[in-house]
């Protein structure tokens, strides 16, 4: 089915054509017609399905028919990366329209975002917490809102944003069209859909939680301590070019990126403790091919959009099966093919079983030829917390001891540090003197 059958504004179809989208993805084909007809939508869709265009295109179409100047559409999304990505998609879809968008998220200044409210951009894309911060100010009014999108609602639930979403709802008109997107529908999300949606068109509900087609999934059983070496071996064999790697903790993310760089592989990292500027730079470097590997924690990686990403590696097995589906959604985007490898240590077999239960199949196990599975690990990737604390304490005690000894030496005349023998005996440079006593002997 070509895009033209979707009855979208010709200027939107022009942009779609320029982007090279030959035909709508299934979620777009299913969601766009009822959304254009003004219906609420409840869609199960994960990253990679083309869901962003599935909600942006009908909204942009409907925004074209009226005078502009007030914000008429709000997209709520869990992370800054996702907000920035949706804005990028909007700018790509709307270049032949007068429509404008702005992203509002934490970690950056409020000032430029205030301008977005004051100028009444057509589409506001926001994370819930920062939006609520703005609502405290008198300039932040969304009385003219007609369209609301909830993007990755289940992820917002995971991140504890449900109360924030309910607070946001108090600031926007109850009469509106709502498009609700979630990869999975756990009970609290179903309750929220009942509160927010009126007779929604249900899309893909029965197909929730199945990974995108075209993804080859495989499991790599390996001892926990050998995971870094295995990843390095796969990278060195040239099995994968660019790869997005998920780890369980910020600490592991840092250590793994350091390990790869030390072994000559260009790698960057994204996690919650990194500043927005660092994340943006890391992502840009990865997208441009400067870094071959991007290591990320799960939450920080939401919204990463890397077109036609060939490989995703789950360095650690995700704790929840939904996370697995989300993560591997990074590859095989919009029906391209990709590989998703999961490194599984004996301790993680239980989590792997839960994932396989949800997938309804056993994933193939792969052994890498020539890799020494019995090697002694070079260094542990993660030092257990108790050991790290003990290390910090020991270092502090040593520093205190040194400071005490120094203080004692100072207090005892005749034991001062000897002058350094190799220091050149030049006269000290005259320093500018602000108190006006220049030239006076000291």
Q: Which residues bind ligand AMP (CB under 6 A)?
A: 21, 24-25, 28, 47-53, 305, 307, 333-334
- In angstroms, give the least distance from the CB of 242 to ligand AMP: 15
> Least distance to ligand AMP from the beta carbon of 82, Å?
9
CA-based nearest residue to 301, from 80, 150, 130: 80
Q: Which is nearer to ligand AMP, 36 or 334 (CB)?
A: 334
Cβ closest to ligand AMP, residue 15 vs residue 102: 15
The minimum distance between CB 214 and ligand AMP, in angstroms, equals: 12
First to last CA, the chain: 89
Smallest distance, Å, CB 334 to ligand AMP? Answer: 3
Contact call for residues 60 and 99 (beta carbons, < 8 A) = yes
Q: Which is nearer to ligand AMP, 43 or 63 (CB)?
A: 43
Q: Which is nearer to ligand AMP, 17 or 409 (CB)?
A: 17
Minimum distance from CB of 339 to ligand AMP (Å)? 17
* Least distance CB 28 / ligand AMP (angstroms): 6
Choice between 93 and 219, CB closer to ligand AMP: 93
SS (H, E, C) the chain: CCHHHHCCCHHHHHHHHHCCCCCCCHHHHHHHHHHHCCCCEEEECCCCCCHHHHHHHHHHHHHCCCCCCCCCEEEECCCHHHHHHHHHHHHHHCCCCCCCEEEECCCCCCHHHHHHHHHCCCEEEECHHHHHHHHCCCCCCCCCCCEEEECCHHHHHHCCCHHHHHHHHCCCCCCCEEEEEECCCCHHHHHHHHHHCCCCEEECHHHCCCCCCCEEEEEEECCHHHHHHHHHHHHHHCCCCCEEEEECCHHHHHHHHHHHHHCCCCEEEECCCCCHHHHHHHHHHHHCCCCCEEEEECCCCCCCCCCCCCEEEECCCCCCHHHHHHHHCCCCHHHCCEEEEEEECHHHHHHHHHHHHHHCCCCCECCCCCCCCCCCCCCCCCCCHHHHHHHHHHHHHHHHHHHHHHHHHHHCCCCCCCCCCCCCCCCCCCCCCCCCCCCCCC
Question: In the complex, what is the shortest distance from the CB of residue 19 to ligand AMP, in angstroms, rounded to a whole number?
Answer: 7
Cβ distance to ligand AMP smaller for residue 75 or 145? 75
Closest residue (Cβ) to ligand AMP? Answer: 52
| Closer by beta carbon to ligand AMP, 225 or else 242 | 242
- The answer to whether 313 and 231 have CB atoms below 8 angstroms apart is yes
Minimum gap (Å) between residue 377 Cβ and ligand AMP: 37
Cβ proximity to ligand AMP: between 32 and 234 the closer is: 32
CB of 220 to ligand AMP, least distance (A): 26
Buried b / exposed e over 145-163, threshold 16 CB at 10 Å, is bbbbbbbbbbbbbbbebbe
Rounded Cα distance, 358 and 388, in Å: 36
As measured in angstroms, the least distance from the Cβ of 32 to ligand AMP is 10
Nearer to ligand AMP, 200 or 338 (CB): 338
Q: Which is nearer to ligand AMP, 185 or 230 (CB)?
A: 185
Cβ atoms < 10 Å from Cβ of 257: 25
Q: Which is nearer to ligand AMP, 134 or 333 (CB)?
A: 333
- List 311's β-bridge partners, or say none: 243, 339
- Least separation in angstroms between residue 302's CB and ligand AMP is 11
């Amino acid at each position: 089915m070509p895009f033209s059958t979707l009855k979208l504004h010709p200027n939107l179809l022009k942009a779609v054509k320029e982007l090279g989208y030959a035909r709508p993805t299934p979620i777009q084909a299913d969601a766009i017609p009822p959304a254009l007809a003004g219906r609420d939508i409840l869609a199960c869709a994960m990253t990679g399905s083309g869901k962003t265009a599935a909600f942006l295109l009908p909204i942009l179409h409907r925004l074209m028919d009226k005078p502009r100047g007030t914000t008429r559409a709000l997209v709520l999304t869990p992370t800054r990366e996702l907000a920035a990505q949706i804005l990028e998609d909007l700018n790509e879809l709307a270049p032949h329209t007068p429509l404008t968008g702005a992203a509002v998220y934490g970690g950056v200044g409020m000032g430029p975002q205030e301008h977005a409210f004051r100028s009444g951009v057509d589409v506001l894309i926001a994370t819930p917490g920062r939006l609520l911060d703005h609502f405290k100010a008198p300039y932040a009014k969304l009385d003219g809102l007609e369209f609301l999108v909830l993007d990755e609602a289940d992820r917002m639930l995971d991140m504890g944003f449900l109360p924030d979403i309910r607070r946001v709802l108090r600031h926007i008109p109850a009469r509106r069209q709502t498009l609700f997107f979630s990869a999975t529908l756990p009970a609290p999300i179903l309750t929220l859909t009942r509160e927010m949606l009126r007779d929604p068109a249900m899309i893909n509900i029965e197909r929730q939680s199945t990974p995108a087609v075209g993804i080859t999934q495989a499991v790599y059983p390996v001892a926990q301590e050998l995971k870094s070496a295995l990843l390095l071996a796969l990278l060195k064999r040239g099995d994968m070019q660019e790869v997005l790697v998920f780890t369980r903790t910020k600490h592991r993310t840092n250590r793994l990126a350091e390990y790869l760089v030390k072994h000559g592989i260009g790698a960057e990292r994204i996690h919650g403790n990194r500043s927005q500027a660092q994340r943006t730079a890391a992502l840009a470097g990865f997208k441009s091919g400067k870094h071959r590997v991007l290591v990320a924690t799960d939450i920080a990686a939401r919204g990463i959009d890397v077109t036609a990403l060939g490989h995703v590696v789950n360095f650690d097995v995700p704790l929840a099966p939904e996370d697995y589906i989300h993560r591997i959604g990074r590859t095989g985007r919009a029906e391209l093919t990709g590989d998703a490898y999961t490194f599984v240590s004996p301790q993680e077999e239980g989590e792997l079983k839960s994932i396989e239960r949800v997938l309804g199949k056993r994933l193939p196990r792969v052994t890498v030829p020539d890799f020494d599975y019995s090697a002694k690990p070079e260094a542990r990737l993660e030092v257990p917390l108790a050991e790290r604390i003990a290390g910090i304490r020991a270092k502090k005690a040593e520093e205190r001891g040194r400071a005490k000894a120094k203080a004692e030496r100072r207090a005892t005349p005749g034991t001062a540090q000897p002058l350094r023998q190799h220091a050149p005996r030049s006269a000290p440079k005259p320093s500018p003197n602000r108190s006006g006593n220049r030239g006076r002997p000291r």
